[in-house]
């Protein structure tokens, strides 16, 4: 049904969404934790910075990324010193871009979820003698799992639908940066409406089923929790 190039684009899209979402979760969780523990001017400034990708058009981010990733930039030279090729027009560059772009979609749910863990509970657990590792594994992780889950959903879905920034920095290179959204655009340009229809429908169906599945899982967790609580 699908041509190899189309499989490749589909696969690349999923891979990008998975990679960037998981990396983003890992990297921003400590930051979101710090942000959730109180109010200060410094926190507000960082919050504002993290929310920027939400309000800026993708072109602004794309423009800066093109400059940053191009082989002559200071960033690429720094990477070269560490033995890494310039990231422009490569999958790794796209991962970086979509991580930046999905930043608010991950940090905000995390921050909210972490914020719901009462400081009293943390203090009491510390007073019992729990060390930081025990706090994280036995208290923070189980209590913030739903938040991590919804942050992942949002980031994943957002990356699936990414186009503007990919158009600017991706270069539409098969196997590296040709995402499904780019391939569809390509097919429309080549007057291959049948393929464009097929791919668009596929993306629609796929996105819907992933989201549906993830929400089902989440609901399952909630129901379990409610059952435990409803016997009161």
Partner 1 sequence: MRGLKLIFACVLVSCHVSASQLIAAASDLRLVLPVLLQQYLAETGVSIEPVFASSGKLSQQIQHGAPFSLFLAADSLYTNNLLQQCSPKQHCQTGFYGQGQLVIWYHHRFQTAEQALKHSQHIAIADPNHAPYGKAALAYLQQHALWPELEAKIRRSDNAALVLHMLSTGQAEVGLIGHALMPEARLQQLLPQSQQQQLQLLQKLGRTEVVPAQFYPPIRHSWFYRPETKQPEIKDFLQWILAPQQQQFWTDAGFKVEHH
Partner 2 sequence: MSLQLKLNWLASNFHLQLELELNNHWIGVYGQSGSGKTSLLKAIAGLLPAATAFCSLDGELWQHDCFQLALSKRKALYLAPDAVLMPHKTALQQLQLASHWSQSTVDLKQMIQDFELEPLLALYPSQLSSGQQQKLALAQALIAKPRLLLLDEALAHLDHQQKAAVLQKLKLYQQQQGFMLLWVSHQMEDLCLYCEEIIWLKHGQLQRQQQLSSPHSNQLFYAI
Site residues (vs partner 1, CB under 8 A): 5, 8, 11-12, 14-15, 18-19, 22, 66, 69-71, 76, 86, 88-89, 171-176, 186, 188-195, 217
Give me the sign of the Cα torsion angle 117, 118, 121, 122: positive
CB of 76 to partner 1, least distance (A): 8
Residue closest to 67 by CA, chosen among 97, 91, 95:
97
| Contact track, partner 2, 126-145, x by CB under 8 A | xxxxxx--x---xx--xx--
Among partner 2, partner 1, none, the one that 69 touches (CB under a kind-dependent 5 to 8 A) is: partner 1
Taking the CA atoms of the chain, what radius of gyration do you get in angstroms? 21
Among partner 2, partner 1, none, the one that 232 touches (CB under a kind-dependent 5 to 8 A) is: partner 2
Instruction: Determine contact, residues 97/167, Cβ cutoff 8 Å.
Output: no
Q: Is position 47 an interface residue for partner 2 (rule: CB under 8 A)?
A: no
Distance of CA 103 to the CA centre of its chain: 7
CB of 145 to partner 2, least distance (A): 9
- 3-state secondary structure labels for all residues of 23-61: HHHHHHHHHHHHHHCCCCHHHHHHHHHHHHHHHCCHHHH
Select 53 or 170, whichever has its Cβ closest to partner 1: 170
Q: d(Cα 113, Cα 51) in Å, to the nearest integer?
A: 17
Among partner 2, partner 1, none, the one that 15 touches (CB under a kind-dependent 5 to 8 A) is: partner 1
CA angle 60, 31, 225 (to 5 degrees): 115
Q: How far apart are the first and last CA of the chain?
A: 54
Q: Is position 125 an interface residue for partner 2 (rule: CB under 8 A)?
A: yes
Q: Is position 120 an interface residue for partner 2 (rule: CB under 8 A)?
A: yes
Token duo for residue 104 = 């608010």
The window from 116-124, 159-167, 171-179, 188-196 that contacts partner 2 (CB under 8 A) reads 116-124
The window from 61-69, 99-107, 119-127, 202-210 that contacts partner 2 (CB under 8 A) reads 119-127
Task: Name the site residues for partner 2 (rule: CB under 8 A).
Answer: 118, 120-121, 123-131, 134, 138-139, 142-143, 228-229, 231-232
């Amino acid at each position: 049904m699908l041509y190899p190039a189309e499989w490749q684009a589909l696969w690349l899209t999923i891979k990008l969404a998975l990679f960037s979402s998981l990396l983003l979760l890992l990297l921003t969780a400590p930051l979101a934790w710090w942000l959730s523990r109180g109010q200060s001017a410094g926190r507000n400034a960082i919050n504002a910075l993290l929310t920027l990708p939400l309000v800026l058009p993708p072109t602004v981010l794309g423009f800066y990324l093109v400059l940053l990733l191009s082989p002559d930039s200071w960033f690429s030279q720094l990477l070269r010193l560490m033995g890494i090729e310039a990231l422009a027009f490569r999958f790794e560059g796209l991962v970086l871009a979509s991580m930046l772009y999905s930043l608010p979609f991950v940090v905000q749910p995390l921050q909210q979820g972490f914020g719901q863990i009462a400081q009293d509970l943390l203090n009491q657990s510390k007073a019992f003698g729990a060390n930081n590792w025990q706090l994280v594994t036995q208290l923070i992780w189980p209590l913030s799992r739903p938040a991590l889950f919804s942050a992942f959903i949002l980031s994943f879905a957002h990356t699936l639908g990414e186009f503007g920034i990919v158009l600017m920095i991706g270069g539409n290179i098969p196997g590296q940066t040709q995402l499904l959204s780019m391939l569809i655009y390509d097919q429309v340009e080549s007057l291959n409406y049948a393929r464009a229809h097929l791919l668009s429908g596929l993306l629609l169906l796929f996105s819907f089923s992933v989201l549906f599945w993830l929400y089902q899982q989440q609901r399952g967790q909630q129901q379990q929790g409610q059952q435990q609580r409803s016997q009161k």
